[in-house]
Amino acid sequence: MNQQLGDIGRFAEPSLFILASLGEGPKHGYAIMTDVEAISGQRLGPGTLYAALARLEKRGLIEALEPEDRRRPYRLTGVGQTTLQTLLEGLSSFAQTGLRRLQRAR
């Protein structure tokens, strides 16, 4: 699992946004882009999106489904679900620690 988390590397933010978007179910590229912007405030351009989708698929974290009306939906794999949960739990712990430290510093 640690290897899987490390594989996200310097492209972690777009990949994490995409994994989180797919956490609620399969989506095609445009739906992922609009969802990512809604949940994070970050706009992913098509180049960033599709490069990240290719990396995530290559690593076995997501899989492409059969096209629907010229759109290709993607979904999390089992490994992708576990990876997303581990990443989010780690971020939650980090955020809680940071917030406690800020509170103590006041």
Residue 73 · residue 62 · CB < 8 Å: no
* Residue, of 11 and 105, whose pLDDT is higher: 105
For the chain, give every domain's residue range.
Answer: 2-105
Q: What is the pLDDT of residues 79-100, one digit of tens each?
A: 999 999 999 998 899 999 999 9
Q: Measured at the alpha carbon of residue 12, what is the angle toward residues 16 and 93, in degrees to the nearest 5?
A: 70
Which top CATH class is 2-105? Answer: mainly alpha
CA-to-CA distance for 58 and 34, rounded, in angstroms? 23
The share of the chain scoring above pLDDT 70, in percent, equals 90
Residue 46 CB partners (closer than 8 Å, separation 6+) = 29, 33
Residue 47 CB partners (closer than 8 Å, separation 6+) = none
* Residue, of 13 and 10, whose pLDDT is higher: 13
Residue 42 · residue 20 · CB < 8 Å: no
Phi, psi (5° rounding) for residue 68? -125, 115
The pTM of this model reads 0.85
Q: What is the pLDDT of residues 27-74, one digit of tens each?
A: 999 999 999 999 999 999 999 999 999 999 999 999 999 998 889 999
DSSP state of 71: B
